[in-house]
Structure 1
Amino acid sequence: MPRNKMVPVILCLMLIFGSLPAFDSAQADNGSVSITATSLNVRSGPGLSYPISGSVKKGEKYSIVQKEGDWIQISLGGSKKGWVAEWFTAKEAPATAASPAVSSNSNGSGSVTVNGLRVRKGPGTNHQVVGSFNSGQAVEILGFNGNWAEVRTNSIQGWVSKEYISVKESKATEAPAVSKTSGTVTATSLNVREKPSLNAAQVGQLNYGAAVTVHSQSNGWAEITYSGKNAWVSAQYLKISGKSTADNGKPSTPVDQFTGTVTASQLNVRDKNSLNGIVVGSVSKGQSFKILDEQNNWVKIEYQPGKTGWAAGWFFEKKKNGSAAPSQSVQNSSVSMLHNGTNIRKGPSTGTAVIFRANQGDSFEILSVEKDWYKIALPNGSSGFVAGWIVSVLGTAPQIERPGAEKHTKDKTIVIDPGHGGRDNGTTGVRGTLEKTLTLKTAQLLYDKLRAAGTNVILTRNNDNYISLASRVSSSHYHDADAFISIHYDSINDRSVRGMTTYYYNSKQKPLGEQIHSAVVSKTMLKDRGTRFGDYHVIRENKQTAVLVELGYLSNPTEEVLVNTPQYQEAVANGIFEGLARYFKNN
């Protein structure tokens, strides 16, 4: 939050939002979970399709039996067990405060991704801080406990949040299946790399027609022998001879079997097969691509010549040898209605008949995705379609954006201002979140989304540097910004306060603030604290259209956990993006 609003931070508890998963995954070996929904159905199996066998209440605690996907099996007493949706639970810390025994064996190595990462004596914020790491520092990983990783260097050993550790798995952990096959290079010149990554060092090149022995394939890469050493090449530029047989005798996944055609109006391409991945580009409806790899319902494509990335597989119509593959269902996902009287239609179009109406908060299982619509299961046993941009998604399926929003932000100049930085931490959450770190995380996600839509985007800071308020405003003036957005998170000494507030200084700024505020509240389901006048330097002294957004209260422990989740960050970026599109469409 801005410095002239900083207040003491106090611990508090509150109701959690059912529309977004607010806690990290509960692991089967990490003790117990508490229920965060007011009333949560218990099912006989790990999915919405299984019968309801009972229910549990908010605040009740249960030990974990096992985990499967986004579902966890809990012990209900005696021999009775049941499955609940993971996103409506909160992981409980181990009962003992003592640090678990350390295995002498290393689980791999990694590097720190942020500056000032606190090192603690045990896996939890209740343990004493014994030191800190800076971004890029290499660590040895000894083990994991829930959301914590035990690490050590030559000078220190302790526990850190695993969210801020980039893990490099050991060879023993990776255990790639060894294939016995051969391949021929199909590219004019194929780069040979030290590791299976475009960022890895190049160790040589192979010419068209060169024969290689393929030892294994992983994520679109093929492991070969080059100059007597193991190296990697892009598998899409190899013609594999015969069937690739792994050590277990089973054929490995073939490469380039399918071609996929995009069915969404606009679809983000990311650097990894997860919503946590950075947006590196976008593709449009009707474009077709070779599917280079497929993992966890995500497909790897070459979205531009020489550039590959991952996109959600359920937005592709796949074809193999000229025949269409059946559309892919979205498992363990549901939609929640954002408005009363939401139309459920017979088909995936506003031109089809309304067959059902739902109210705010009603939840339905997703059966499949067709174009920009979700096919959902209705209470009477039939199915219907709801527009993807008027619902909130629970589970693995991504939130569909309103079609065409990107055309309104294309070629606009947007300055994004991550609040605080450097010696100015902003507020500190009750669980240790630094506002300056979180504002930068949000800003970078929004930056990637806008850039992929063709927007000219400028960040006032892209690292943990201190930038004066005057310099932030000067950046807006220098770039002649069409919009300036200052991103913050709030804090107050009232432990019951939660929600989002958006500030403007003059009437020129108010329409932008109202559009962004409305869109973000709709996407995140945060408590709406309104759009109001605010006397803050970065909007008061700004000649451009400028607003300041407070995206939740770090002084509230539950909201602090919520705003740190990848799902919330994705929803916020989508909301600001859509709010900008609405503003430019109307102005």
Structure 2
Amino acid sequence: MKKRKPLILVICLILLAGITQEGTQVKAENSTVTITTNNLNVRQGPGLSYPILGQAQKGDQFNALSREGDWIKINFQGQSGYVASWLISDMTTSQTGEKAASTNSQAIITTDGLRVRKGPGTSYGVLGTIQKGTAYKVKSTEGSWVKIQTPYGDGWVANEFVQYSGSQEQNSSSSSQTGEITANSLNVRNKPSLTSDIIGKLNSGETVAVISQNDSWTEISFSGKAGWISSQYIAVQSSQSKSKPKQSASGKSGTVTATSLTVRNKGSLNGKPIGSVTKGQTFPILEQTDNWAKIEYRTGSYGWVASWFIDMTAEKNSGSSQQSVNGSSAIILHNGSNIRKKASTQSSVIHRANKGDSFEIISLNDDWYEVRLPNGGTGFVAGWIVKVEGSAPAVTKPGAEQHLRNKTIVLDPGHGGRDNGTTGARGTREKDITIRTAQLLADKLRSAGANVILTRSGDTYLPLPSRVGISHYHNADAFISIHYDSTPDRTARGATTYYYHPFQQELAANIHSNVIAMTNLRDRGYRAGDYHVIRENKRNAVLIELGYLSNPAEEALIASAQYQQSATAGIYQGLARYFKN
């Protein structure tokens, strides 16, 4: 009998371990989850090694049975299956305190390197990091945590590190006044004194809630607390003045054509995101600079949007869709291109042009440029057969959006954080210009209805395996890694596109040919290349080098707004042609 005691003890310990393990599962009875990506694998167990039961589609909802680590157990077609928690959202249950967010509310991040977690607490795993000034759609809140839509999927951040815009209230202040900042790098202090501590900075164009004023100082709401700024650098508006609609100084209004368009505090991709507008909304155009338009995106709040995603119309009488494009030229891409009497392929041809011919652009009419002919007359040329020099927006071929709609495209801006990439002859850092290109391309693709994920949305370092992991997690239809080249030979120039696996070659060919056509860079070809982000990628992936920063002349071209438009239009068109075929 004594010899059996150790055996009985072992059996008891095993049973106790089973009870303990079962207790770690988070019950989620009466809960539902919503799938956030297409073709999501539902597995037989909580891990990537388990067999696949089937696939769920974006928007599908299921009853959640329990949580096991990073996996959610669901009721799938009458069976128990598991889905990855980082690819689902809107888990609602009577047992949690999660609350749905107000429609169109956005969270603006107030600190650098903020961790995005898989759940509302520091015990949950980290999906990635996001940077100060970036804005994300709010999905829901729970306690002191807020769920936001990020490039890594839906995740949670601490509420103390965000400011809200949109329908959700930004602060607890009940002030009926707001103010617009009129100076850059304006110090915000903890007391109304030049000797007090600086708690942050504001830039021209930003809007803040005004709490009080005393002579030369104004008290404002800043990052969830009270701060003080000099009154001479803020234009205060009362609720009465805000209620009056702003009249357009340009005599034009604009309708948003992108699904979701970021509003920034200045007319540049380097401007801080302060809100967003959606497709179909119309605003008076208050001011235009280069390719940016200033609008009143919310009552009393002003910001800048990219004008190539705004359909401009005159506010009075004409109803014309022509847009001013002064100082721009249209460069013909192909021999024998037709210039027509009217903006239509059915109109008669009045002039034929050859590759390299340049024409002054008078206006933009839908997808056609009105140009000045050598005889002094005018004609129309299709925007998708020319390259633009100047501030005029690049035009993509009509119908391309139908081939991009609902496609999942992962954009990978090369380098970031501690990894600067190469530095140009004039000091341009590769990591800065790759994110600029990616953000511009993302806006174009989203306007066509594509589901776009950026591997990084700010100046953050991301290991190469993590970039590939994002491609796999989202079952990307295409993965584009964006780079700029460098070599000791300062005369080297041109664009090169790389693929690794044979099935990636067709995507590389389509993107490369269209980028060359739109930018007129030297064609260095598309070829096989042994790069981690395409070698280890099981999805259709390419890496593109969009010119040489080591060449001073090409560096100046690369940094220009016109080149960025042309390059991203080329990638856009290449993706559309690939999916069409």
* Contact 2:256–2:277 under 8 Å retained in 1: no
Cα distance in 1, alignment partners of residues 260 and 357 from structure 2: 27
Range moving further from structure 2, 362-371 or 402-411: 402-411
Shift of 1:575: 1.9
Tell me the residue number matched to 1:316: 312
Tell me the residue number matched to 1:370: 365
Asked if residue 383 in structure 1 is aligned to residue 383 in structure 2, the reply is: no
What secondary structure, in the 3-state scheme, does the structure 2 residue paired with 1:348 have?
A: coil
Q: Which has the larger radius of gyration?
A: 2
* Contact 2:287–2:295 under 8 Å retained in 1: no
Cα distance in 2, alignment partners of residues 195 and 449 from structure 1: 29
Change (3 A) 1:435 1:318: closer
Asked if residue 521 in structure 1 is aligned to residue 526 in structure 2, the reply is: no
Shift of 1:477: 1.0
Tell me the residue number matched to 2:468: 473
Instruction: Write the deviation string for residues 368-412 of structure 1: whole angstroms up to 9, x where unpaired.
Output: 222211111111222111011211222232222322333332322
Range moving further from structure 2, 327-336 or 365-374: 327-336
Tell me the residue number matched to 1:427: 422
Cα distance in 1, alignment partners of residues 430 and 293 from structure 2: 35
Shift of 1:307: 8.8
Tell me the residue number matched to 1:195: 180
Shift of 1:522: 1.7
Range moving further from structure 2, 270-279 or 379-388: 270-279
* Contact 1:263–1:317 under 8 Å retained in 2: no
**2:445 corresponds to which letter in structure 1?**
L
Cα distance in 2, alignment partners of residues 326 and 556 from structure 1: 40
Change (3 A) 1:272 1:410: farther
**1:443 corresponds to which letter in structure 2?**
A
* Residues 115-130 of structure 1: pairs in structure 2 closer than 5 A: none
Tell me the residue number matched to 2:326: 331
Tell me the residue number matched to 2:50: none
Shift of 1:512: 1.1
Tell me the residue number matched to 2:484: 489
Cα distance in 2, alignment partners of residues 348 and 190 from structure 1: 52
Tell me the residue number matched to 2:284: 291
What secondary structure, in the 3-state scheme, does the structure 2 residue paired with 1:194 have?
A: strand
* Residues 407-426 of structure 1: pairs in structure 2 closer than 5 A: 407-426=402-421
* Contact 1:236–1:292 under 8 Å retained in 2: no
Tell me the residue number matched to 2:528: 533
Instruction: Write the deviation string for residues 203-251 of structure 1: whole angstroms up to 9, x where unpaired.
Output: 269xxxxxxxxxxxxxxxxxxxx9xx961368995348xxxxxxxxxxx
Change (3 A) 1:295 1:537: closer
Shift of 1:581: 1.9
Change (3 A) 1:525 1:203: same
Tell me the residue number matched to 1:26: none
Cα distance in 1, alignment partners of residues 320 and 492 from structure 2: 50
Shift of 1:538: 1.3
* Contact 2:258–2:446 under 8 Å retained in 1: no
Cα distance in 2, alignment partners of residues 294 and 522 from structure 1: 32
Instruction: Write the deviation string for residues 139-164 of structure 1: whole angstroms up to 9, x where unpaired.
Output: xxxxxxxxxxxxxxxxxxxxxxxxxx
Tell me the residue number matched to 1:24: none
What secondary structure, in the 3-state scheme, does the structure 1 residue paired with 2:427 have?
A: coil
Q: 1:508 aligns with which of 500, 503, 510?
A: 503
Tell me the residue number matched to 2:494: 499
Q: 1:231 aligns with which of 223, 232, 236?
A: 236
Range moving further from structure 2, 524-533 or 397-406: 397-406
Q: 2:339 aligns with which of 344, 359, 363?
A: 344
Cα distance in 2, alignment partners of residues 514 and 351 from structure 1: 31
Shift of 1:362: 0.7
What secondary structure, in the 3-state scheme, does the structure 1 residue paired with 2:428 have?
A: coil
* Contact 1:509–1:547 under 8 Å retained in 2: yes
Cα distance in 2, alignment partners of residues 236 and 449 from structure 1: 35
What is the total number of aligned residue pairs between the two structures?
A: 367
* Contact 1:266–1:403 under 8 Å retained in 2: no
Tell me the residue number matched to 2:141: none
Asked if residue 460 in structure 1 is aligned to residue 455 in structure 2, the reply is: yes
Shift of 1:483: 0.9
Shift of 1:523: 1.8
* Contact 2:259–2:446 under 8 Å retained in 1: no
* Contact 1:261–1:317 under 8 Å retained in 2: yes
* Contact 1:330–1:396 under 8 Å retained in 2: yes
* Residues 39-188 of structure 1: pairs in structure 2 closer than 5 A: none
What secondary structure, in the 3-state scheme, does the structure 1 residue paired with 2:503 have?
A: coil
Tell me the residue number matched to 1:561: 556
Q: 1:550 aligns with which of 545, 552, 556?
A: 545
Shift of 1:530: 0.8
What secondary structure, in the 3-state scheme, does the structure 2 residue paired with 1:497 have?
A: coil
* Same amino acid, percent of matched pairs: 51
Change (3 A) 1:310 1:190: farther
Change (3 A) 1:493 1:308: closer
Instruction: Write the deviation string for residues 325-355 of structure 1: whole angstroms up to 9, x where unpaired.
Output: 8956532222111111111111100011111
* Residues 431-446 of structure 1: pairs in structure 2 closer than 5 A: 431-446=426-441
Tell me the residue number matched to 1:217: none
Q: Specify every segment of 5 or more residues in structure 1 that has no aligned partner in the other structure, as ranges.
A: 1-112, 116-134, 137-188, 206-225, 241-252
Shift of 1:303: 7.0
Report which structure shows greater RCO (CA 8 Å, sep ≥6).
1
Instruction: Write the deviation string for residues 515-555 of structure 1: whole angstroms up to 9, x where unpaired.
Output: 11122112211111111111222111111110010111122
Change (3 A) 1:567 1:262: same
**1:317 corresponds to which letter in structure 2?**
T
Asked if residue 361 in structure 1 is aligned to residue 356 in structure 2, the reply is: yes
Tell me the residue number matched to 1:582: 577
Q: Specify every segment of 5 or more residues in structure 2 that has no aligned partner in the other structure, as ranges.
A: 1-110, 114-130, 133-173, 182-203, 213-230
Cα distance in 1, alignment partners of residues 459 and 303 from structure 2: 30
What secondary structure, in the 3-state scheme, does the structure 2 residue paired with 1:201 have?
A: strand
Change (3 A) 1:443 1:235: farther
Cα distance in 2, alignment partners of residues 448 and 264 from structure 1: 10
Instruction: Write the deviation string for residues 35-83 of structure 1: whole angstroms up to 9, x where unpaired.
Output: xxxxxxxxxxxxxxxxxxxxxxxxxxxxxxxxxxxxxxxxxxxxxxxxx
**1:507 corresponds to which letter in structure 2?**
P
Range moving further from structure 2, 441-450 or 556-565: 441-450
What secondary structure, in the 3-state scheme, does the structure 2 residue paired with 1:427 have?
A: coil
Instruction: Write the deviation string for residues 537-582 of structure 1: whole angstroms up to 9, x where unpaired.
Output: 2111111110010111122221122212232223222222222222
What secondary structure, in the 3-state scheme, does the structure 2 residue paired with 1:195 have?
A: strand
Q: TM-score, normalised by structure 1?
A: 0.54
Change (3 A) 1:304 1:195: closer
* Contact 2:514–2:571 under 8 Å retained in 1: yes
Change (3 A) 1:190 1:379: farther
* Contact 1:477–1:544 under 8 Å retained in 2: yes
Cα distance in 1, alignment partners of residues 328 and 575 from structure 2: 28
* Contact 2:411–2:452 under 8 Å retained in 1: yes
* Contact 2:253–2:314 under 8 Å retained in 1: yes
CA RMSD of aligned residues (A): 4.1
* Contact 1:256–1:290 under 8 Å retained in 2: no
Cα distance in 2, alignment partners of residues 326 and 565 from structure 1: 26
**2:560 corresponds to which letter in structure 1?**
T
Change (3 A) 1:323 1:535: closer
Change (3 A) 1:407 1:309: farther
* Contact 1:262–1:283 under 8 Å retained in 2: no
